[in-house]
Amino acid sequence: MKSLRNWDNKTWLSSNKYILSFYKFLKSKVKFNKKIKVLDIGCGRANIISFLQRKHKFQNKPIGIDIIKSKNTKKNIIFKKIDAIKYLKKTDQKFDLIIIKQTIHFFSKNKLNILIDLVKKRLNKKGQILIFSLKTKNNKIPSFKRMKIKLILSLKKDEDLIKKIKKKLIKYKISHFNFKVSISKSKYIKMIKNKYISCLLNFSRKEIKKGVEEVKSDFKNQINFTDTLICINYKK
Domains delineated in the chain: 12-183+226-235 (3.40.50.150)
Task: Check residue 125 and report its DSSP letter.
Answer: E
Q: Phi first, then psi: give them for residue 98, nearest 5 degrees.
A: -120, 120
What are the tens digits of pLDDT across the range 180-221?
999 999 999 999 999 999 899 999 999 999 999 999 999 999
The number of angstroms, rounded, from the C-alpha of 140 to the middle of its chain's C-alpha atoms is: 17
What are the tens digits of pLDDT across the range 65-124?
999 888 888 899 999 999 999 999 999 999 999 999 999 988 999 999 999 999 999 999
- Residues near 211 by Cβ (< 8 Å), separated by ≥ 6? 144, 145, 146, 147, 192, 203
What are the tens digits of pLDDT across the range 17-72?
999 999 999 999 999 999 999 999 999 889 999 999 999 999 999 999 999 888 88
Contact 196, 6 (CB under 8 A): yes
Contact 134, 155 (CB under 8 A): yes
Categorize the per-residue pLDDT at 5 as very low, low, confident or very high, splitting at 50, 70 and 90: low
Q: Would you put residue 195 in left (φ > 0), alpha (ψ -120 to 50) or beta? A: left
Spell out the alpha helix ranges (H) of the chain. 16-29, 47-56, 84-90, 109-121, 145-169, 185-193, 205-218
| Residue 98 confidence (pLDDT) | 98
Distance CA 126, CA 86 (A): 24
Q: Is the pLDDT of residue 9 over 70?
A: no
Distance CA 163, CA 9 (A): 30
Q: Establish how many alpha carbons lie within 13 A of residue 64's alpha carbon, considering only the half-sphere containing its beta carbon.
A: 25
Query: Quick check: helix, strand or coil at residue 34?
Result: coil
Full-model pTM: 0.92
Query: Quick check: helix, strand or coil at residue 160?
Result: helix
Tell me the C-alpha to C-alpha distance, in Å, between residue 13 and each of 44, 85, 94, 207: 11, 25, 28, 24
The identity of residue 235, as a single letter, is K
